[in-house]
Structure 1
Amino acid sequence: MNGNRLVGTLTGLAALMLVSGLPATTPGIPQAAPVSASAVADAPGIHRDALLWLADLVRINTSNPPGSEQLAAKYVAGVLQKEGIKPEILDLALGRSAVVARLRSSVVPDPAKALLLVAHLDTVPVEKTRWTVDPFGAVIKDGYLYGRGAVDDKGMLAANLAVFVGLKRANAHINRDVIFLATADEEGGGDSSIRMLISRYWDKFAAGFAINEGGNVFMKNGKVQYIGVQASEKVAVNVSVVARGTSGHASQPTKDNAVVHLAAAIAKIGSYSSPVHFTAIVRRYFEGIAPLEDDEIAKWIRSMDTPDRGEHAQRVVSDFSPLWNAMVRDTVAPTVLSAGVANNVIPAEARANLNVRLLPGDSINTVVNELNKLVNDPAVKLEVQPNAGLAAPQSSLESDFYNVICQVASREFAGAPALPFQSTWLTDSAQLRLHNVQAYGLLPFPLADEDLKRMHGDDERIPLASFDKGVDVLTKIVTEFAVTRY
């Protein structure tokens, strides 16, 4: 047995700590209280199993592209079957599948009242040479489980599975249907994504409420600072920058070199900053975050929308935090460059991709027009790519479920405030909102900035104590909303 790897023969989290020589707690993270016996049976067993499920899921490579989620879908279905729950594998394409299962309520069978637990099976790819551990090894080191998807989104998937199975083990008296859904192709958003699931299988998971990834438990100085509950998200659009020139032999350079035109255009685009625009959720977010920050930055947060100091305050706040900068404006990020066929050939065409993130309600045409004016080069064209995202309505900040999420999370994290959050990233929740689902995002794991930055980067990891706490918090959110108390 390798002491640095999680194996199925362990009898519990305590045994794992002993084998690995790890601390049983992580400073700054409140320890999980026992789950109420009326809500979920055998809480220690659920926490142990959740960690084992997470490790097994990390070991299944579902990097997208190509995704290949079918093996992970079958694994999840097997877990559910073992617990006496009937899952259904929803095939979407060759090797690509989702999983759905339902716990039925005898009280309120109305789909408009049902609660959907959502997470995705796929992950972003890895650059293995940049990792210090096997990205698909579920390596345990220094109080963390390392692996692609440990947080995004197999951590959420394992936590959802634990809550769902826990309700079944407890024979909980649920007051509404609770539905488990593991989706495919979230990272790609293509023909195997939730968009296709809804088109082909909506009746199998139609619900009125959903909890998904999208928000976070943010930490500062070793303590939970606030809980961001996602109720809206930006819209992603890809734009191609195409530069054309005269091809020829590289020994005789020309002035209309497509690569030079493209490089000049990208340099200009890289300096672009769109005007600030406060959505209702972002305005409420900043009202809530200002009292939590140091006096100096709080002063500028409060001044962002004032006529005399607003413009300067916006610059200060945007420079202070890339997240805040992206929350208040449309952003444009060059992500891919391509040109050339050989080292000694001047190409006729050079291309770049721009990943544009729009605030809800903003127009891609407005952004493209501004970029065209900025580039001001007839050799360069901007082309909006198909399959652009759609702006979805925000989820209600007045619903019973939103209130339960905020109340439970704040209580479980020592009174830290729960704030409405508009994510700069995309989730499956946008498609659910387009179908009248009140969907909210919360990865319930307390994560420091260092761990948040690793989610799509190298050495992705989740603190063991954070995962354990997150399972507990998610359990309490679901049971308070969906379980009848006697």
Structure 2
Amino acid sequence: GRGALDMKGLGVAQLMTFLTLKRLNVPLDRDVVFYAMADEEAGSQFGVEWLAEHHPETLEAEYTINEGGGGSTEAFGVERPVFTVAVSEKGPLWLKLIARGRPGHGSMPHDDNCLDRLVRAMQRIQDWNRELSVSPMLTEYFSRLNRAGVFTAEATVESLSKVAETDVRVRAMLSNTISATTIKAGIKHNVIPAIAEATLDCRLLPGVRPEDFQQELEAIIDDPKVTVERVFAGWSEANSFDTELFNVIENVIHDHIEDAVVVPGVTVGFTDSRTLRNRGQISYGFSGGLNEPHLAATVHGHNERVSIESFKLNCRMVWEVTHQMCAAR
């Protein structure tokens, strides 16, 4: 059912860890807080953003385990367990383009047609060649996969550029992306409209500020009669993967699956972690579940589901990571 993988399974694993710590009266060196926050899919305005504004004291923590990571039985067509621990994520920037022009009769074309303006603007965006960027974290990601024989290309811009030509996920990991999602104009077949609108879903690399990217995009459009409105935006820098928590996660994974490859990664979507990272937390996307690609593909789709074995493994790993990090020694 909806949410089995994204992210009720992880949520239950975290909740069971929280309850078990209490039921066993485990002595703790660190406080353990369970966050259950709504609205992440719609931008978190009434979830973590609301808490950060109205009750910031509830979000004080050194580390957070959140969604965004997990294990797959294969990667890049190679059958070998790979666990990604998300130490960063792309920032959302949702924009609306509004083109204005002179209305008129469809039988009398003129040079101030708002739809023509919008089409030209969209074409300029489509033709915009945005450079690929390989951050130190992504260098580590691809290098680890390369050493494990999972990924054949080297972790260089030149090698990865060739892969990105055909692999949309690699391209999304390495560049600021733009997807046109809706377009709206006109009410009649024979009427030139006065206004035309389109929406863009932009996803920006960690550390790229939305206002800087929007300014670049407006310069690319270069039309005073096409305005760009910001609907929603978020951003954060990447966390370091040289931490106690990352080391514990890596060790726990290898305790259960000896030949697993553990890599720091970037979430191409967005999560509540961006808000927590901007508050100075180390926030990792980590799930101990190990899923086959055909099950992972059901997220947000029909018959979304998780295997019993993967769910049990997830519960066990989340418990062990939390216990090792927080239990009194």
TM over 0.5: yes
SS in 1 for 2:309: helix
Query: 1:101 matched to which residue of 2?
Result: none
Query: 2:121 matched to which residue of 1?
Result: 265
Query: 1:136 matched to which residue of 2?
Result: none
Query: 1:276 matched to which residue of 2?
Result: 132
1:218 aligns with 2:63: no
- Whether the 8 Å contact between 1:212 and 1:440 is mirrored in structure 2 is yes
1:405-484 equivalences in 2 (<5 Å): 405-484=249-328
Q: Which has the larger radius of gyration?
A: 1
1:385 aligns with 2:238: no
2:39 equivalent among 161, 167, 185: 185
- Whichever residue aligns with residue 334 of structure 1, its letter is A
How does the TM-score come out when normalised to structure 1?
0.62
Query: 2:154 matched to which residue of 1?
Result: 301
SS in 2 for 1:153: helix
Q: Deviations over 1:444-481 (max 9, x none)?
A: 22223333333234442222321222112211111222
- Give the Cα–Cα distance (whole angstroms) in 2 for the partners of residues 453 and 250 of structure 1: 45
1:335 equivalent among 174, 181, 203: 181
- Give the Cα–Cα distance (whole angstroms) in 2 for the partners of residues 265 and 449 of structure 1: 38
1:349 aligns with 2:195: yes
* Deviation for aligned residue 1:212: 0.6
* Deviation for aligned residue 1:176: 1.8
Q: Deviations over 1:311-339 (max 9, x none)?
A: xx333121342222111111111122222
* Deviation for aligned residue 1:359: 1.6
- Whether the 8 Å contact between 1:259 and 1:349 is mirrored in structure 2 is yes
* Deviation for aligned residue 1:347: 1.9
Query: 2:97 matched to which residue of 1?
Result: 241
- Whichever residue aligns with residue 203 of structure 2, its letter is R
1:362 equivalent among 204, 208, 212: 208
* Deviation for aligned residue 1:292: 3.5
Q: Deviations over 1:324-358 (max 9, x none)?
A: 21111111111222222345543211111112222
Q: Deviations over 1:377-434 (max 9, x none)?
A: 55433x2415421324x32322212210111123222331211112222111111112
* Deviation for aligned residue 1:194: 0.4
- Whether the 8 Å contact between 1:273 and 1:331 is mirrored in structure 2 is no
* Structure 2 runs not aligned, ≥5 long: none
What's the % identity of the aligned pairs? 30
- Whether the 8 Å contact between 1:161 and 1:180 is mirrored in structure 2 is yes
Between 1 and 2, higher relative CO (CA 8 Å, sep ≥ 6) is seen in 2
* Structure 1 runs not aligned, ≥5 long: 1-146
- Whether the 8 Å contact between 2:236 and 2:277 is mirrored in structure 1 is no
Query: 1:151 matched to which residue of 2?
Result: 5
- Give the Cα–Cα distance (whole angstroms) in 2 for the partners of residues 415 and 243 of structure 1: 55
Q: Deviations over 1:174-233 (max 9, x none)?
A: 222111110011111253020111222232342111101011213216954321111112
Count how many residue pairs are aligned between Structure 1 and Structure 2.
327
SS in 2 for 1:391: coil
SS in 2 for 1:154: helix
- Give the Cα–Cα distance (whole angstroms) in 1 for the partners of residues 172 and 28 of structure 2: 40
CA distance 1:418–1:440, shift in 2 (3 Å): same
2:17 equivalent among 143, 163, 168: 163
SS in 2 for 1:461: coil
1:16-415 equivalences in 2 (<5 Å): 147-220=1-74, 223-250=79-106, 252-293=108-149, 298=152, 300-302=153-155, 304-305=156-157, 310=158, 313-364=159-210, 367-368=213-214, 370-372=216-218, 374-377=220-223, 379-381=225-227, 383-385=228-230, 387-392=232-237, 394-415=238-259
SS in 2 for 1:198: helix
